[in-house]
Homo-oligomer: A and B are copies of this chain.
Amino acid sequence: MTDPIADELRDVLDGRWIDLRRRARTELPADVMLAPPGLTIEEHRARTTESLLKIAELGYGRVGFPAEFGGELDYAASCVLFEMQAYGDLSLLVKTGVQFGLFGGAVARLGTRRHHAAYLEDIMTAQLLGSFAMTEVGHGSNVQALETTATYDERTRELVVDTPTESAVKTYIGNAARDARMAVVFAQLVTGDGEHGVHAVLVPVRDESGEPLPGVTIGDNGPKGGLPGVDNGTFAFDHVRVPKDNLLGAFGDIDDAHRYVSDIDNPNRRFFTMLGTLVRGRVCVGGGSGAAAKKALAIALRYGTTRRQFSATEDQDEIVVLDYLAHQRKLLPRLAKSVALSFAQNAVTERLQELQGGPADAERDVEGQRELESRVAGLKAVTTWHALDTIQACREACGGAGYMAENQLTQLRADVDVFTTFEGDNTVLLQLAAKGLLTDYQAMWGDLDVPGMVGKIAGQVGGRIVERTTGRAGIQRLIDAATGRDDESATDSLPWAVSMFEQRADHVLETLGNRLRKATKDNAFELFNQAQDHVLLAARTHIDRCVLEDAVEAQQGIPDGASKDLLERVLILYALGSIEQDKAWFLEHGRLTTGRSRAVTAAVNALCQELRPQVTTLVDALGVPDELITAPIVR
Query: A399 contacts which chain B residues (CB < 8 A)?
Result: 140-141, 421, 425
**A360 interfacial by beta-carbon distance below 8 Å:** no
Partner of A530, one of B404, B525, B605: B605
A400 interface contact, C-beta 8 A: yes
- Please tell me if the beta carbons of A396 and B410 are within 8 angstroms of each other in the complex: no
Q: Which residues of B contact A598 (CB under 8 A)?
A: 588
With A318-B145, A403-B418: A413-B312 Cβ-Cβ less than 8 Å: no
With contact pairs A224-B403, A225-B413, A405-B222 given, residues A588 and B588 touching in the complex (Cβ less than 8 Å): no
Q: Mark A430-458, 1 if CB is under 8 A from B, else 0.
A: 00000000000000000011111001000
Chain A interface helix/strand/loop/mixed: helix
| Contact indicator B222/A400 (Cβ below 8 Å) | no
Question: Which residues 275-319 in A have Cβ within 8 Å of B in the complex?
Answer: 309-314, 318-319
Specify the chain B residue showing the minimal Cβ separation from A316: B525
**Contact between B451 and A319 (Cβ–Cβ < 8 Å)?**
yes
> Can you sample 29 A-B contacts with CB below 8 Å?
A37-B223, A38-B41, A38-B222, A141-B309, A145-B318, A171-B400, A222-B404, A222-B406, A225-B404, A225-B405, A225-B413, A226-B410, A310-B448, A311-B449, A311-B451, A313-B452, A313-B455, A313-B524, A323-B529, A325-B530, A395-B417, A396-B425, A399-B421, A402-B421, A410-B414, A583-B583, A583-B588, A584-B584, A589-B594
* A112 close to chain B: CB less than 8 A: no
User: Is A131 engaged at the interface, CB distance under 8 Å to the other chain?
Assistant: no
* Contact of A141 with B310 in the complex, beta carbons under 8 Å: yes
Taken together as a complex, chains A and B put the C-alpha atoms of A38 and B310 apart, in Å, by 40
CA distance A135 to B403 in the complex (A): 14
A266 lies within 8 A of chain B by Cβ: no
Tell me the complex Cα distance, A324–B425, Å: 14
Task: Please pick, from B142, B318, B400, the residue contacting A135 in the complex, using a CB distance under 8 A.
Answer: B400
Does A265 sit within 8 A of B, measured CB to CB?
Answer: no
Tell me if A119 counts as interface (CB < 8 A to partner B): no
The answer to whether A532 and B309 touch (CB under 8 A), given A404-B222, A421-B396, A588-B594, is no
Give CA–CA (A532, B321) in the complex, Å: 13
Q: Is the CB of A449 within 8 A of B222?
A: no
A329 — which chain B residues lie within 8 A by C-beta? 532-533
CA of A312 to CA of B524, assembled, Å? 8
Q: Please name all residues of chain B whose beta carbon is closer than 8 Å to the beta carbon of A314 when the two chains form the complex.
A: 452
In the complex, A427 has a CB within 8 A of chain B? yes
Q: How many residues of A contact B (CB 8 A)?
A: 79
Q: Is A172 at the interface (CB under 8 A from chain B)? A: yes
C-alpha gap A139/B321 in the complex (Å): 13
Chain B residue at minimal CB-CB distance from A135: B400
A529–B310 Cα distance when bound, in Å, is 13
Contact of A410 (CB < 8 Å), options: B142, B224, B524, B532: B224
Least CB distance, A401 to chain B, in whole angstroms: 8
Interface residues of A (CB under 8 A from B): 37-38, 40-41, 135, 139-142, 145, 171-172, 221-226, 309-314, 318-319, 323-326, 329, 388, 392, 395-396, 399-400, 402-406, 409-411, 413-414, 417-418, 420-422, 425-427, 448-452, 455, 524-525, 529-530, 532-533, 536, 583-584, 587-590, 594, 597-598, 601, 605
- CB A90 to nearest CB in B, in angstroms, measures 13
Decide if A418 touches B405 in the complex (CB within 8 Å): no
Contact yes or no, B403 A421, CB < 8 A:
yes
Once the chains are docked, how many angstroms separate the CA of A417 from the CA of B140?
28
A448–B310 CA distance with the chains assembled, in angstroms: 8
Query: Counting chain B CB atoms within 10 Å of each CB, which of A414, A418, A588, A589 scores highest?
Result: A588
Q: Find chain B residues with CB under 8 A from A425 CB.
A: 396, 399
Query: Would you give the shortest CB distance from A265 to chain B, in whole angstroms?
Result: 19
Taking CB as reference atom, which chain B residue is nearest A398? B421
What is the minimal beta-carbon distance from A65 to any residue of chain B, in angstroms? 28
User: Which residue of chain B has the shortest Cβ distance to A385 in the bound complex?
Assistant: B396
**Distance in Å: Cβ of A74 to nearest Cβ of chain B:** 31
Q: Is the pair A224, B405 in contact by a Cβ cutoff of 8 Å?
A: yes
Q: For the complex, give the distance between the alpha carbons of A318 and B452 in Å.
A: 11
